[in-house]
């Protein structure tokens, strides 16, 4: 009887700890394009498939995915400068939160100013929504695309070859 109770307890605890595992999107091949666009707008929680992550963990996953994007599709110098400024700001913020000292605060304020300067401004005539791009691709490809299931990699591959 005690042995059965012990086995039941072990099974319950192992299921409990297995449930607490965490998983996030780690490749452009599996990440839906709709989530990628939200992530690029700062919604890093869209990276989470299961479990919980710190903002710094999510930001590091984002940086890895962004590097994969650059390696596969390239980027502009302005965008690279913006991404680097965002990364530097996130690192400085994490350091300041941890240390709460004057030097860290000074570096944080400097990184914030660099980020402001590097942040692109929106111009209404040049912005295009994800749905507009999908509609244009659908016309070009001749078949429908679902933004919630289409991988980021496939989307940009289609765009590169048909855009």
Continuous H helices in 1-151 = 2-19, 33-40, 55-73, 77-99, 102-118, 130-141
Would you state the pLDDT for residue 19? Answer: 53
12, 23, 41, 89, 123 from 79: Cα distances, Å: 49, 28, 13, 15, 15
- Over 80: is that where the pLDDT of 2 sits? no
Would you state the pLDDT for residue 125? Answer: 40
Would you state the pLDDT for residue 70? Answer: 85
Contacts of 86 by beta carbon, 8 Å cutoff, 6+ apart: 115, 118
State what percent of residues in the chain have pLDDT above 90. Answer: 38
Distance CA 28, CA 8 (A): 40
The string of pLDDT tens digits covering residues 90-136 is: 889 989 988 999 999 999 999 999 988 888 665 444 457 888 888 98
The pTM is what?
0.62
Mean pLDDT of 136-141: 88
What Rg, from alpha-carbon coordinates, does the chain have?
A: 21
């Amino acid at each position: 009887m005690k042995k059965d109770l012990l086995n039941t307890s072990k099974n319950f605890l192992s299921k409990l700890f297995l449930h607490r595992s965490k998983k996030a999107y780690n490749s452009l091949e599996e990440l839906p394009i709709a989530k990628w666009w939200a992530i690029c707008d700062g919604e890093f929680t869209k990276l989470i498939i299961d479990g919980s992550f710190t903002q710094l963990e999510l930001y590091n996953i984002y940086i890895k995915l962004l590097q994969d994007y650059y390696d596969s599709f390239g980027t502009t110098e302005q965008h690279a400068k913006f991404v680097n400024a965002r990364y530097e700001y996130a690192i400085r913020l994490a350091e300041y939160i941890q240390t709460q000292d004057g030097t860290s605060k000074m570096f944080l304020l400097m990184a914030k100013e660099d980020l402001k300067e590097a942040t692109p401004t929106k111009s209404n005539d040049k912005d295009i929504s994800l749905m507009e791009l999908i509609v244009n691709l659908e016309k070009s490809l001749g078949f429908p695309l679902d933004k919630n299931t289409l991988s980021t990699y496939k989307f940009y591959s289609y765009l590169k070859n048909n855009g």
